[in-house]
Amino acid sequence: MAVRDMEHVRIGESGEHMEKKNRAFCATAAIVAGILILAVMEWLGHRRIPFMMDDLWYATNLAADRPLQGLGDVIESQVWHFLNWGGRCVTHGILQLTLMCGELGADMLNMIAALVLGWMVCVTAGWRKPFCFLCASSLIVALNANVKMSMFWQAGTVNYVYSTVWILVFLWPYLRQTEEPEADDLPLVNLWIWPLGLMAGWSNENMGPASLVTALAAVVYLVKGKKRRLKAWMAGGSAACLLGSILVVAAPGNFVRAQAVEKLPLGAFLYERLFSMLRAGADYLFPAALLLVAVLLFWTVCLKERLRPAQWMLLALAVLSYGAMVLSPHYPDRATFGTMVVCVALSLSVLKGILAKRRDMGIYAGGMALCYWAYAVYVLAVVQQNG
């Protein structure tokens, strides 16, 4: 009888184990299917949207007013751009290179950039799992204030998707070191942090300087707070980012364009700035902010937990990149893209901690992911339909 009972127990345990494996397999298959559907929808959206608007201008040598014929034309264009139009020479130079690839080549590069962005959100959140990638990819679309102009318009894709990728890659070693002060340096970080720092600072007027402050905050925390030695890549990356930030903000072209903007009386100017910031916060960024506030409240109030230093830095990056736009003459909806992505990364970082503490919340997280995924698919379908 005892032997028979033991056999029944083993059979029962084996059955439970197989049931768990089957559930895990089904969940993974569903996640992979969701990712593939999103990827296919995004690809169809890219094929649906042609080069348009600013793309047609940047497809020419800006100085000579002729079609781009090679790298020399791009360099000549960006020198003219820096002196006469604005400081975003890195993003617009890369934009011109993608335009020279033709629509199919540009669409392929855009898809790679979108996938890398989703992965970098996972890396930044410290949660490298398929479920996190599905959430990141869905949220980037679902919480986007203007999907077409930030992810499918070629100029918008390079200015926002591409630049957010290299900003997150630049900040990754700083945030990683903040999380693990004793960790070894990333491979060859002393070589690639310099150009990435320059590109991050020279990206756009709000995310560039905000990235610089975030990197410096990480350095101060490590050197002063954790008594770590200041490493060459920490100082070099920050210095390169500072140089890039100066170049994007102080470019002579910015002041040339500013002369063409109608000067408003002080009262009207202050009102316009206040309205622009309120519209960005209460409209464009509201869905991302709402999700972030919800997970932060559950983490800090319900679970009585605290944010880690790296999470505080991501929160500061989001706030600074939003606040910096008060200095801009206008704040279009697509310009909130970088701030929105940072909110998504921080939300997923906190959600990972919540699920580690409360495994029973997994069903709610899955339901949330399904809702955002379904809405993202709907948004992408609208993009394809309307073009």
**Within 10 Å of residue 375's Cβ, how many Cβ atoms?**
16
pLDDT confidence of residue 6: 54
Q: Specify the pLDDT at position 7.
A: 55
- Inside any domain, residue 157: yes
End-to-end distance of the chain based on CA atoms, in angstroms? 72
Q: Would residue 4 count as lying in a domain? A: no
Amino acid 9: pLDDT: 47
Where does the chain show beta strands of DSSP type E? 60-61, 66-67
Please count the structural domains in the chain. 1
292 belongs to a structural domain: yes
Task: Note the pLDDT of residue 137.
Answer: 97
Helix, strand, coil % over all residues of the chain, rounded to 5: 80, 0, 20
Residue 279 lies in a domain: yes
234 is a domain residue: no
What pLDDT score was predicted for residue 16? Answer: 65
Residue 132 lies in a domain: yes
Q: Are residues 336 and 280 in contact, defined by beta-carbon separation less than 8 angstroms?
A: yes
Positive or negative CA dihedral for 293, 298, 302, 303? negative
Q: Per-residue pLDDT for the chain (387 aa), expressed as one digit of tens each?
A: 554 555 554 555 555 666 777 887 888 999 999 999 999 999 999 999 999 999 999 999 999 989 999 999 999 999 999 999 988 999 999 999 999 999 999 999 999 999 999 999 999 999 999 999 999 999 999 999 999 999 999 999 999 999 999 999 999 999 999 998 888 889 999 999 999 999 999 998 889 999 999 999 999 999 998 888 999 999 999 999 999 999 998 999 888 877 766 677 878 777 788 888 888 888 899 999 999 999 999 999 999 999 999 999 999 999 999 988 887 777 889 999 999 999 999 999 999 999 999 988 989 999 999 999 999 999 999 998 887
Cα-based distances in Å from 369 to 42, 187, 198, 298: 18, 34, 35, 17
Q: Specify the amino acid at residue 367.
A: G
Q: Among candidates 335, 351, 350, which has minimal Cα distance to 281?
A: 335
Examine residue 345 and state whether it is found in any structural domain, yes or no.
yes
CA-nearest of 82, 53, 16 to 246 is 82
181: in domain: no
Range of the domain at 374: 40-163+249-386
pLDDT at residue number 344: 97
pLDDT for 71 equals 94
